[in-house]
Chains A and B, each alone.
Chain A
Amino acid sequence: MTKIIIPALLSLLLLSVKGQALPYQVITVADELNYPWSLAFLPDGNLLVTERTGNLKQLSAAGEVTADVAAALPELYVAAQGGLLEVLVPAAYSQNQQILVSYVCGDGNANTLCLASGRWQAQQLTDIRQLFKAEPYRKGAAHYGGRMVQLPDGSILLTLGDGFDYREQAQNPANHLGKIVRLQPDGSVPADNPFIDQPGYASEIYSIGHRNVQGIVYDAASNQVYSHEHGPRGGDELNRIQAGKNYGWPVATRGIDYTGARVSPFRQYPGMAEPIWHWSPSIAPAGMTLYQGELFPSWQGNLFITALAGKALHRLEMVNGKVVSEQLLLTELNSRLRDVRSGPDGALYILTDSASGKLLRLLPAPQ
């Protein structure tokens, strides 16, 4: 009898889970985006989208492409993980129409991450100025970081990667590999940066010991900065970023090399900050937003993280700076997801990662 009842109950359970309606609907706003990397909202409701292959597009809220500019960035280098990366619309945009873009500059033998400002006006990017160039140059086209967030004081946190082959340099405070740096929107160094007067330290550094940071947000309610970074095989991390702290890579890591070799014997090490959440196996986190919209009231204050390898949107419920639960959304798309942002309309906007990438809008399911 039990042989019949247990499978029947399991089938019913499966059916009820499968039949459960998703709490959201996904609308394709735009498609045919060539490896879209980041998006930002302009005050007038339009969106800016970067394509890693070098173009900056402006889209209307309805998804119509109203501008498509091959950004004339100094020394732009497009290869593998390199190219045009993040676009940030600073708070002062309404006054000066200035935007910031991070991108890879140089060539195959010597390249690095650069930050430039430009004036976005009349659907053109003009007055482009290179503000910052991470040092030193490296070979290869991997692990650039490239995400940005603006803090309430107007300064910008810019994330950087370890260059893959240079992982030990993430612990070297004299350069920018594997660091988060803090700059003013004009590229100057804030006077209160944590290592500003320390000999042997690059003055731009805000935190050290990162591998490849591809998501960063500021939570005004708690005055906290969160960032996530790719681990190697396992060991993707969500960190609470504080000025001057060391986040451990490559000394303290839960990941191992792609070859199976241990990167380090240590999962933790004294003096190195531990992640507040981690993923093993890796999900390859690639974008992040703190949801504060009104369309999904129960999601307010949650972190949303797009995953490339994980092919999902991770919703992390945060309570007092701690992750209390995790939910995977958009798994039904089976797509690599590059970036996620909270829209001014309360919807979540997601970029998929492919040569014909899409901009998706996540809305509550119709009643």
Chain B
Amino acid sequence: MQTTPRYRTHSKVKKLLAFGIAVLLAAALGSIVQSQFNLVAIAALVDQLPPGDWLYTVWFDLRSFTPTMLVIMVPVLLLALVAGRLLHSTVGVSRLWLAMGCSLVGFLLALWAINNLAPMPTLIAASRGLVGSLALALCAAAGAAIYVGLTSRRNEA
């Protein structure tokens, strides 16, 4: 099937939009997840942590921590989605699973690199343990899934 230049431009804009949505949602999800790790740690140290304080902290982090997640998430998802696409054409595994797998591994590699380069031992407190690191990496995988879902042929119709 031949595509017109107009269709190609439309498709690029759609992909760009899908990438923006995926990255934003992944970063926001990552922010919510890291808030839970911090709050659970604090809750273990105090008599009570009122629900209002809990929710306010999540809201605060969504505004204040999400930009940090975006800085990590944008290159991770970009590279992971490209890698997933290349692998898809060679190994023939589902595009969705490849994108999610590459994003998960990519995010873990990014955390490793950041923690080796940053002056502090661990930049994101939630990633001090394996469970927290995996939880954050799963947010990147969710972002990849959102992108694939938004750009699949069914949605391109």
- Give the B-binding residues of A (Cβ under 8 A): 80, 139-142, 164-165, 167-168, 171, 250-251, 256-266, 269
Contacts and interface: CB of A to CB of B under 8 A. Distances in A.
Contact of A260 (B46, B54, B57, B67): B67
Given A140-B121, A142-B120, A265-B39, 11 more contacts: A80-B119, A139-B121, A171-B45, A258-B120, A259-B68, A259-B123, A260-B61, A261-B61, A261-B124, A263-B125, A265-B54
Nearest to B64: A260
A261 B122 CA distance: 13
Contacts of A261: 31, 34-35, 38, 61, 64-65, 68, 124-125
Which 10 A-B pairs rank lowest in CB-CB distance, beginning with the nearest?
Answer: A140-B121, A265-B53, A260-B64, A261-B65, A259-B68, A260-B65, A265-B57, A264-B42, A171-B45, A165-B121
Q: Is the interface of B mostly helix, strand, loop or mixed?
A: helix
B58 to A, nearest CB: 9
B35 A266 contact: no
Given A260-B68, A261-B34, A263-B38, A142 B121 contact: yes
B114 to A, nearest CB: 10
Given A256-B64, A260-B67, A265-B54, A164 B41 contact: no
Given A168-B45, A269-B46, A262 B38 contact: yes
A10 to B, nearest CB: 36
A165 B35 CA distance: 16
Given A262-B60, A265-B49, A250 B42 contact: yes
Contacts of A168: 41-42, 44-45
The winner among A139, A256, A260, A266 for most chain B CB atoms within 10 A is: A260
Contacts of B44: 168
A330 B35 CA distance: 40
Contacts of A139: 121
A260 B31 CA distance: 10
Contacts of B49: 265
Contacts of A262: 35, 38, 57, 60-61, 64
Contacts of A140: 121-122
A171 B47 CA distance: 13
Contacts of B7: none
A266 B39 CA distance: 11
A354 to B, nearest CB: 16
A364 to B, nearest CB: 38
Interface string B105-120: 0000000000000011
B64 A164 contact: no
B128 interface: yes
Nearest to B44: A168
17 contacts: A80-B119, A139-B121, A142-B120, A164-B121, A165-B122, A168-B44, A257-B65, A261-B35, A261-B64, A261-B68, A261-B125, A262-B35, A262-B64, A263-B38, A264-B38, A265-B56, A266-B46
Interface string B17-38: 0000000000000010011001
B62 to A, nearest CB: 10
A164 B120 contact: yes
A139 B34 CA distance: 22
A262 B123 CA distance: 13
A256 B53 CA distance: 15
Interface in B89-134: 119-125, 128
B118 to A, nearest CB: 8
Contacts of B119: 80, 142
Contacts of B122: 140, 164-165
A261 B61 CA distance: 5
Nearest to A252: B46
A245 B134 CA distance: 37
Contacts of B41: 168, 250
Contacts of A258: 120, 123
Contacts of A142: 119-121
A261 B54 CA distance: 13
Contacts of B38: 261-264
A50 to B, nearest CB: 21
A269 B124 CA distance: 24
Contacts of A171: 45
Interface string B66-78: 0110000000000
Given A261-B35, A261-B38, A165 B128 contact: yes
Contacts of B56: 265
A250 B56 CA distance: 17
Nearest to A233: B64
A266 B35 CA distance: 14
B42 A265 contact: yes
Contacts of B120: 142, 164, 258
Contacts of B60: 262
